[in-house]
């Protein structure tokens, strides 16, 4: 229907899948084990492997954007983080880019979610525009990082996700496959 002045009114945007999907690690791709530095404790959520396989079939690159404040706290080493990441790669298939922040909350860095640094870094390394990415996570900081980078965010709540985080999220999915449905991933 035209506008009152006769000009055409644009319709809703045509849904498109994202150029890349970036996942939070702990609580999103794997069951959260606080400050996990033990690869033997890596336990992917049930929909992690199927979701990543779906993205690979669709030709959509993937990445992980993860706060790892255990490094700043002296509870983990960078080698511990790398070992856990490598184990997840073994269990769910290769993830395109790993971007993680070793800082604590008080460090004031630009990478720790909800700051956009991890999302911007992962998008750059994947060769895509951050605004064409989606970030899937389980807490408000994940969605805040997406918003700050101009990306779309999808919340996949866990039992520890606060009710106010769910209420404030624009897109909420029951699991990772439903998140991909909301993002129009074929």
- Of 134, 153, 133, the residue nearest 144 (C-alpha): 153
* Per-residue model confidence as pLDDT tens digits over 107-131: 999 999 999 999 999 999 999 999 9
Q: How far is Cα 8 from Cα 24, in angstroms, rounded to an integer?
A: 41
- The confidence band for 96, taking pLDDT boundaries of 50, 70 and 90, is very high
Residues with catalytic function? 24, 26
pLDDT at residue 16, rounded to an integer? 82
The fold of 20-182 is Rossmann fold (3.40.50)
Structure confidence at residue 169 as a pLDDT band (50, 70, 90): very high
Whether the predicted pLDDT of 12 surpasses 70: no
The answer to whether residue 13 scores a pLDDT higher than 60 is no
Each domain of the chain, given as residue ranges in start order, spans: 20-182
State the pLDDT at residue 53: 98
Q: Is 148 helix (H, G, I), strand (E, B) or coil?
A: helix
pTM recorded for the entire structure: 0.91
Q: How far apart are CA 54 and CA 11, in angstroms?
A: 29
- Least-confidence region, from 2-6, 20-24, 135-139: 2-6
Which pair of structure tokens corresponds to residue 169?
A: 């999220």
Mean pLDDT score across all residues of the chain: 93
């Amino acid at each position: 229907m035209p506008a009152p002045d006769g000009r055409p009114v644009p319709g809703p945007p045509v849904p498109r899948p994202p150029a890349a999907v970036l996942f939070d690690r702990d609580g999103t791709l794997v069951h959260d084990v606080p400050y996990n530095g033990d690869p033997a404790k890596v336990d992917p959520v049930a929909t992690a492997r199927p979701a990543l396989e779906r993205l690979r079939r669709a030709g959509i690159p993937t990445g992980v954007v993860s706060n790892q404040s255990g490094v700043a706290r002296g509870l983990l080493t960078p080698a511990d983080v790398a070992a856990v990441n490598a184990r997840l790669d073994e269990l769910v298939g290769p993830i395109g880019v790993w971007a993680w922040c070793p800082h604590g909350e008080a460090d004031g860095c630009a990478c720790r979610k909800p700051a956009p640094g991890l999302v911007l870094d992962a998008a750059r390394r994947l060769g895509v525009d951050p605004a064409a990415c989606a970030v899937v996570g389980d807490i408000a900081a994940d969605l805040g990082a997406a918003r700050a980078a101009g990306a779309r965010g999808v919340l996949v709540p866990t039992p520890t996700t606060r009710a106010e985080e769910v209420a404030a999220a624009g897109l909420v999915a029951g699991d990772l496959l439903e998140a991909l449905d909301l993002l129009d991933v074929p």
